[in-house]
Amino acid sequence: METVKLTSPIDGSVYAERATATDAEIDATVARARAAQAEWAGTSIEERATYLLAFLEALLAMNDDIVPEIAWQMGRPVRYGGEKGGVEERTRYMVALAEKALAPFIPEDRPGFRRYLKRAPLGVVMTIAPWNYPYLTTVNSVVPALMAGNAMILKHAAQTLLVGERFQAAFDKAGLPKGVFQNIVLGHAQTEKLLGSGKIDHCNFTGSVAGGRAIEKAAAGTFMTLGLELGGKDPAYVLPDAKLDHAIANLVDGAFYNSGQCCCGIERVYVHEKVYDDFVEGFIAETRNYVVGNPLDQATTMGPMAQARFADFIREQKAEALRKGAVAHIGMTVEGDREGSPYLAPEVLTGVNHQMSVMREESFGPIVGIMKVRDDEEAIQLMNDSPYGLTASVWTTDTDHAATLGDRIETGTVFMNRCDYVDPGLVWTGVKDTGKGGAMGLVGYDNLTRPKSYHLREAI
């Protein structure tokens, strides 16, 4: 029997272990989803909303148990209270939006004909969810997919195995019809085989570029649709008129919250030469306030990274940057911070350039490089010098100028005076190696449905 083991970054123990599904179980899961979806698609939006809001209440009621579970699974400190705020915001918004998003479009009247366009469900949707924000990223696709009339199969990351079980328990508590939502445990080869079977109509994946390419390859020839959010190297640009205290506090948090393990985390900062020195001084001072340690301790503000190999990659990026002339400013002593350990101190580098991995390759950890720039032109050139394009933030008091700069930045989202946030009223999307598709908002519903035309000629 093959199993998936969840090794806790807190102490290296096996926190959970689950058997992977057999071929027969996979076939049965898909068959149940297909059968349940046909009936689910016939329910009203109002009825679906009742189930989804009941699911939300059931999930929120588990939060006291979920918070330490997250710490044990991927290392986020318990002091932050899990992800309930964002889960509730996104779920309620997408449920409320469904009636508008799924309403038929009726073109101009044509005598003798009844014409309209409906948003039809895709069928069976599979979400392959990541470990870094295990509840939020899952909600992004699960809630609108179900509201649109699809059946859902969830395969969660091995690092956060228990999250899928929490979703299943919450949907069961809500009384969702059997087969409409199913959690499943699969290995990589099993996942690829299922995607290539032609039995899945849409797959939503959040993860690495390599993972996204593997999914595209597995799905080739099936004509299934894909939503791929594959990470980023998100930049910030601080202009001379920025409110520095606000910018510093938010950019430090954007860089180091969740140990930097965020697709839209701040990984590189470009600061206008007029405010560079003051910004760097403040950024360093703010970073030194972090307390790295056991995430079960309420005093801890930064826990271990999810796996030791992720921390070792950050150590390698830092070492390469220092060899090439960068300067490290934090030098914090952290118990257990050594090669092969997931515990890692945050680091701020200056003297960096785009010949260094830390400014080009996704770090996904608690390290950030800060560069001085002369003007907007240099800042935009550097911001766009990346294979990724998820979000970018501009820090200024001039909204019109920020919007004009945003038009030139190759990114899915442009922020002004904030970062690291998913607005459910817009769309979460990216360009270049960040992937394709989009979650949240009206576009999120478009990507989880298909247009279906009705051209009805009245009786002659």
Total residues belonging to the chain: 460
Residue 161 near residue 130, CB atoms below 8 Å: no
CA distance 191 to 172: 24
Q: Which residues pair with 452 in a beta bridge?
A: 118
Please name the residue that has the structure tokens 């039995």: 199
Contacts of 150 (CB under 8 A, 6+ apart): 37, 40, 41, 121, 122, 123, 124, 125, 201, 202, 448
Residue 265 near residue 420, CB atoms below 8 Å: yes
3-state secondary structure of 199: coil
Torsion of CA 241, 246, 251, 252, to 10 degrees: 130
Q: How far apart are the first and last CA of the chain?
A: 65
- Compute CA distances 119 → 24, 103, 148, 218, 314, whole Å: 33, 7, 8, 27, 45
Q: Mind telling me the catalytic residues?
A: 229, 263
DSSP string spanning 46-108? HHHHHHHHHHHHHHHHTHHHHHHHHHHHH---GGG-TTHHHHHHHHHHHHHHHHHHTSPB--S
* Cα Rg, the chain, nearest whole Å: 23
3-state secondary structure of 453: strand
107 exposure class (CB count in 10 Å sphere: 0-12, 13-18, 19+): exposed
φ and ψ of 36, to 5 deg:
-70, -35
Residue 126 near residue 202, CB atoms below 8 Å: yes
